[in-house]
Amino acid sequence: MIQGTALARLLTSRKLLFVTGKGGIGKTLVSVALAQAAAAAGLKVLLVENSSRDQIPSLFGMDPVGHNETIAAPGISCINLNSAGNFREYVTKYLGQQKMFDTVLSHRVVQSFFNTIPGLAEAMMLGRLFYTCDIREVDQRPDLVICDSPASGHFLSLMTTPDAIVGSGLAGPMLRDTQKVLDFLRREDDVGVIYVCTPEPLVVSEAVDFLPVIHQKSPAKLCGVIVNRIPPAVTATTSAQRAPVGGEDSALTNFLIERSAKSKTALDMLRVSVQQFPGILFLGLRDLGFVDDPLALDFYRTLLTEETLHT
């Protein structure tokens, strides 16, 4: 990562970054590249996912790690948080009630009951991130947590849970601790959201609609938009400079010209939308095509090479 860039400043200034976007646009790959860049800058990074199956470890050539912080590369650890593990750690580590958990709360029936409480899993997930960034012993805290978050709609549901709990009329430790989590997420100097998309009309149209919603409804504010898989610019003029072609080659050239034009139109639309959020990172990444795993330790140098897109 080039020192002094907008991306470098973002990664070195936050404690927690949520990476979200439409499914299938490469946000996990972007999350890992960001973690590599931060680690290369000397930060201790924790990569977090909350998925039915581990996706991040395979990018480092590892077996699934589950709910266990595991070293994945120099300066980088990863974990796949789950509801049961978050609840256990809340009771045993945060509340300090190991005996209560062992004798009562570890019972399968009790665990099943807690899984039916609306919003509890989401609150525990966010609480675990808060604990990791702000409460855990200083020497055990990462410098930066990057959360490869759920796709757009589920992400919004996750981020609006604390407000719903605080406004529900509940009382006691759950309400008190949820308010602490909410206050943490609102700290714009420490926490932010990066939205990843691709320069395709439908994907950008969804982004244009969703970015203001994140900014209005999420306690963690938008701090960056990354456009992944930007194809090379191809026009009739540049293609004409090639040797004359026909048949299938002409069809391919026409496809590339059309794809490039659609990408430019989508980027122009997104650029206008991003102007609503002055000061955020607006970064474009070129299309690498198929990427093999495990990733090279310096893969970020290949992916995070584009200049900031100007608004």
Which CATH number is 182's domain given?
Answer: 3.40.50.300
The reported pLDDT for the residue numbered 96 is: 72
Distance CA 285, CA 256 (A): 18
* Percentage of the chain modeled with pLDDT above 70: 86
Q: Which residue, chain included where needed, has tokens 């995070």?
A: 304
Residue 121 lies in a domain: no
Greater pLDDT, 119 or 240 = 119
- Number of independent structural domains in the chain: 1
The reported pLDDT for the residue numbered 101 is: 57
Stated as kind and residue range, the H or E segment containing 178 is: helix 173-185
Residue 171 lies in a domain: yes
Q: Residue range 31-53: average pLDDT?
A: 96
Nearest to 300 by CA among 204, 226, 242: 226
150-184 CB burial, b ≥16 within 10 A, e <16: bebeebbebbebbeebeeeeeeeebeebbebbbeb
Residue 291 lies in a domain: yes
Burial class (CB in 10 A: 0-12, 13-18, 19+), 311: middle
Residue 282 lies in a domain: yes
Q: Nearest 5°: phi and psi at 179?
A: -65, -40
**For residue 261, what are the domain limits?**
6-82+145-303
- Asked if 283 and 227 count as a contact pair (C-beta separation under 8 A), the reply is yes
| For residue 162, cis peptide bond before it (omega within 30 degrees of 0) | no
Distance CA 286, CA 289 (A): 9
Residue 97 lies in a domain: no
Nearest to 59 by CA among 75, 73, 38, 40: 73
Q: Worst-scoring range by mean pLDDT, 85-89, 261-265, 278-282? A: 85-89
Residue 267 lies in a domain: yes
Q: Nearest 5°: phi and psi at 176?
A: -60, -45
For the chain, how many residues are written? Answer: 311
Residue 108 lies in a domain: no
Tokens of 201: 């009309």
Distance CA 136, CA 90 (A): 12
Q: Residue range 180-191: average pLDDT?
A: 97
User: Which residues, other chains included, contact 122 with Cβ-Cβ below 8 Å and sequence gap of 6+?
Assistant: 157, 158, 161
Q: Residue range 258-267: average pLDDT?
A: 93
User: Residue 180: pLDDT above 90?
Assistant: yes
For the stretch 7-23, pLDDT in tens is 999 999 999 999 999 99
Q: DSSP label at 289?
A: -
Distance CA 228, CA 245 (A): 30
Distance CA 110, CA 114 (A): 6
Nearest to 110 by CA among 120, 101, 97: 101
Residue 276 lies in a domain: yes
> Within 13 Å, how many C-alpha atoms sit on residue 260's CB side?
14
